[in-house]
Each structure stands twice: as C-alpha cells, then as structure tokens.
Amino acid sequence: MSKSLELVSFGHESPALLLVTYLISQNIPASYAYTEGDLNHQVLLDDPSCLQEAAFIVKEFVDNPTDPKYQQRAWETEQQIFREAREARQSVFPKISWSMFQQTPVTWLIMGICVLVYLSSIAGGFIWVRENMMLLPWSLLVETGQWWRTITPAFIHFDEMHIIFNLLWWWLAGKGIEQKFGSSTLLLIFIVTAIIPNIGQLLMSGPDFGGLSGVVYGIIGFVWWCGWLRPQWGLALPNYIIGFSLIWLVLGYVDLLWVSVANTAHTLGLVCGCAIAWCYVFFTQNTLKRR
C-alpha cells in the first residue's frame, strides 16, 4: 500500500476538513491527520498518482479558501452521507407502515396475538390463559368439545426468550411464504402445523406445554422443501438456518438443552411443513400439466 503524502497543513481544523471534503468530492482520495506543532492539521493524499491534480486544487484553495464552491460541495457531501446512512438504517430496520401490514397480514396477526397473550400473562392473566387456552387431557377434550384448544397453545409463551426466539423465526420464514403464495397459504400452514403437533405432543407427554415452535418448524420445513423441490420459485432459507434447526431438534431429543423442549411438536411440525410443501409442488405441477 502506498504511503500517504502530506499536501498542506493548517493551524485550524476547519479549513483542513473542508479541503479534504472537497478533494474527496473530486474523486481524489484524501484524509485528515493531526500532528504536533503550529500547523498541526494536515491534509494527506492517499493516492500519490493523483498528486498533480491534488496540488492544483490545494493551490486554488490556499489562494481563495472562502470560495463558495467549497462550502457548497461540503454541504452536498454531508447531505449525501446523511441520505446514505438513513437508507442503510432503513434497510436494517424497515419503517413499519400500513403497506407492510397489507402485504403480510397473517404474519403480523399471529405475532400480535402471541405478544398480546404474553403481555396478558405477565400482567397477571396467566390463570385465565391456562384455563381457556392450554390443552386439556384427551378424554376431557373430547368430552368438552373445546377443539379450539388444539390451536391456542401456539400463542402461549412462558418467558421473554421463548417468545422472542419463536417470533424471530416466524417473521423470517412466515413473511416470505405470505409474500410469495398469499395469506391463505400461510394461514393453512399455521393451522395444520399447530393442530397436528399440539395433538401429538398432548398424546405423548400431556397438556402442559405451549409455544409457536411447532409452527415455526412447520414453516421452516415448508420453505426448505419448496427451495429444494422448486428452487426457481425463489423461496429459500440459508443453509445455516436449516442446519441450526435440525441440530436444535436433535439436541432436544438427547436432552442436552437447558430448557424443556416439546420434541414431538417440533418433529411433527417439521414433517407437516415438508409434507405441505410436497403437496403444494405436486398440485401445482399437475395443474400446469392439465393446462
């Protein structure tokens, strides 16, 4: 790497920074440095091949540092930096708008219900949640006919990390499904991957469980198999996410996790999601052949 060359030094910081900004705006790599001495604010040229052009601009600046063009260029550069920073921030933390709700209403609806149930629970309403939303023993469930309880455990979370972890995965995979295939498809996947895993977990270990994780494994399985069977659809998750999900599933079975895990619900959710994806691909393929 070439060593930076000193172009000029000033006794104050302002003109040095103004000149650096102008040089950069002219596509000349420049930087600022502070040193000891009277003229301790240096303007450095980071690319010696631009020395001739840079020297000309420096001479112009030294002869007339109050020329409005320098202030104008500095203001334009500052506005561009602010604009790029704002765009970068919005790409990481997208502004929540009504259009986002319109594009993915089911994704937001499920998240909203989970948050509402969780906040109600920690505010003193857990007894109500338990008595009205958690599953009953199978014989009592059949006797009472309260079949909504086969879905509602998906909305119940027991601590902060539990709900954050599940909603993060739901958001990552769910919104992609809804944007690609529509709200009805995501709602169907939610219902199937809530009911079957919840019933399976009930029969295996009883009614004391809750969480969206069975559904989360369902949507991960759906995206995974759609990406595998029909990569041209453009619906996929990074391999490390799929790998992490499968490793977490195995760790749950060998009892190496620090939390109690509904292994049956996770497994059935994954199987259901993969099966729905296969049916979706098969149905789509046959529909296209008949046309």
Catalytic residue among 41, 121, 157, 213: 213
Q: Are residues 112 and 192 in the same domain?
A: yes
Catalytic residue among 41, 121, 157, 266: 266
Q: Are residues 70 and 122 in the same domain?
A: no
Active site residue 213: yes
Looking at the predicted structure, is the pLDDT value of residue 288 above 50?
no
How do residues 109-164 score in pLDDT, each as one tens digit? 999 999 999 999 888 888 888 888 998 899 999 999 999 999 999 999 988 888 99
Q: Are residues 55 and 174 in the same domain?
A: no
Model confidence, pTM: 0.63
Task: Among 59, 92, 125, identify where a domain stops.
Answer: 92
Please name which of 166, 182, 185 lies closest in space to residue 117, comparing C-alpha atoms.
Answer: 166
Looking at the predicted structure, is the pLDDT value of residue 93 above 50?
no
Q: Are residues 120 and 149 in the same domain?
A: yes
Determine which of 72-76, 153-157, 205-209, 262-266 has the lowest per-residue pLDDT on average.
72-76
Residue 25, domain extent: 5-92
Could you give the number of structural domains in the chain? 2
What tokens does 165 get?
Answer: 């972890």
